[in-house]
Amino acid sequence: MKKFMNSTETMLRESLAGFALCHRDIVALDGDFRFVSRRQAKHGKVALISGGGSGHEPLHAGFVGHGMLDAACPGQIFTSPTPDQMVAAAEAVATGAGILFIVKNYAGDVMNFTLAAEMCSTHADSLVIDDDVAVERSGQGGRRGVAGTMIVEKLVGAAAEAGAGIGALKRLGVSVNGATRSMGVALTSCTAPAVGKPTFDIAGNEMEVGVGIHGEPGRRRVAMMRADEIAEELVHAIVQDLEPPSGCEVLLMVNGLGATPSLELHLMYNAASRQLAKRGLKASRSIVGNYVTSLDMAGCSITVTVLNDELTSLWDAPVHTPALRWRM
């Protein structure tokens, strides 16, 4: 294993320190390394807080700032942050309008964020994201929250920035989650530094279809396919589950899992957009890049969100975070 690190014990703290120093105009790091918060708070708005195990960067700390999150709590690699971290973040960024926790659907995250909401002195609620179609909804624990989490954070973040109340934000988040589906494919495993070896074994001519962002098994292990064939399988699974009306506009996201270059991600975007067009769907909004990763895993995920005028406007709204920023 080759990693840029001094030790596995100090890796996360040193990375957070570097992240906060690099983006000190946007974020601040808690002195006890419990959370990253927005440097310029907006008083009177509902505070949005997310978090989860590290190793998925830039999710979640990279999305703290104007138009998205007010704070993010990083756990150890692939390990949920603690309720105490979440409560400390809530106390630091709350302005009296309430707290909305945005939570990926993993048992540890859901349990700890639920406890944190109960422990908060101000009104707090939770929004659970479960966009991964590789997992059946009726399965143990339900579907996983993956790259669609970023879409929810952006759209709900824009509405919060505009002054929406906590009830409206929760309803919006539920709606966006319901309009969003994702599915990924891995070409290699990832290697957690503390483990020092790949999470799973995969042959050089194989790929894992439907892999999870922690290296969880997918739907099936198959021989490597052409890019067009991969895009067809992922888009088919997404559209079959989502059932969008023909002719509607969608947001298409091709997300890298950590070790896939931009050259290949844009090739996959081209393939996925052609698959959508075959099904009468128009990708009127797009995003490509490494946003919800799995350490050094080679692979990508495709996410589709059905848009309407409100969601398109929220997507276009200004955002300024370390990892996502634009002005309209």
Could you tell me if 241 and 267 lie in one domain? yes
CATH of the domain at 260: 3.30.1180.20
The two structure tokens encoding residue 73: 């709590």
Could you tell me if 20 and 79 lie in one domain? yes
Could you tell me if 145 and 246 lie in one domain? no
pLDDT at 141: 77
Residue 3, in any domain of the structure = no
Could you tell me if 51 and 113 lie in one domain? yes
Could you tell me if 71 and 131 lie in one domain? yes
Closest CA to 208 of 236, 186, 237, 182: 186
Could you tell me if 74 and 32 lie in one domain? yes
pLDDT at 9: 97
Distance of CA 254 to the CA centre of its chain: 12
Measure Cα distances from 167 to 46, 123, 156, 170, 275 in Å. 10, 11, 12, 5, 36
Residue 98, in any domain of the structure = yes
Range of the domain at 264: 180-306
Could you tell me if 49 and 76 lie in one domain? yes
How confident is the model over 247-262, as a mean pLDDT? 98
The count of other CB atoms within 10 Å of the CB of residue 97 is 20
CATH of the domain at 157: 3.40.50.10440
Instruction: State which amino acid sits at residue 321.
Output: T
Backbone angles phi, psi at 128, to 5 degrees: -100, 130
Residue 311, in any domain of the structure = no
Residue 60, in any domain of the structure = yes
Could you tell me if 76 and 194 lie in one domain? no
Residue 328, in any domain of the structure = no
Instruction: State which amino acid sits at residue 220.
Output: R
Final residue before a domain boundary, out of 154, 179, 204? 179
Could you tell me the pTM of the whole model?
0.97
Could you tell me if 30 and 139 lie in one domain? yes
Model confidence pLDDT, tens digit, residues 89-144: 999 999 999 999 999 999 999 999 999 999 999 999 999 999 999 997 755 679 99
Q: Is 50 helix (H, G, I), strand (E, B) or coil?
A: strand
pLDDT at 235: 98
Q: Is 177 helix (H, G, I), strand (E, B) or coil?
A: helix
Residue for token digits 């494919």?
185
Residue 314, in any domain of the structure = no
Domain count, the chain: 2
Q: How far apart are CA 181 and CA 132, in angstroms?
A: 6
Could you tell me if 77 and 208 lie in one domain? no
Backbone angles phi, psi at 36, to 5 degrees: -110, 135
Does position 76 have pLDDT exceeding 60, yes or no?
Answer: yes
Residue 315, in any domain of the structure = no
Could you tell me if 142 and 188 lie in one domain? no
Exactly one of 23, 56, 60, 66 is catalytic; which is it?
Answer: 56
Residue 150, in any domain of the structure = yes
Mean confidence (pLDDT) of the chain:
96
Model confidence pLDDT, tens digit, residues 214-237: 999 889 999 999 999 999 999 999
Closest CA to 222 of 248, 185, 274: 185
Could you tell me if 195 and 206 lie in one domain? yes
Q: Is 301 helix (H, G, I), strand (E, B) or coil?
A: strand
Categorize the per-residue pLDDT at 41 as very low, low, confident or very high, splitting at 50, 70 and 90: confident
Final residue before a domain boundary, out of 144, 179, 214? 179
pLDDT at 153: 98
Active site includes 236?
Answer: no
Active site includes 266?
Answer: no
Does position 213 have pLDDT exceeding 80, yes or no?
Answer: yes
Exactly one of 60, 123, 214, 236 is catalytic; which is it?
Answer: 214
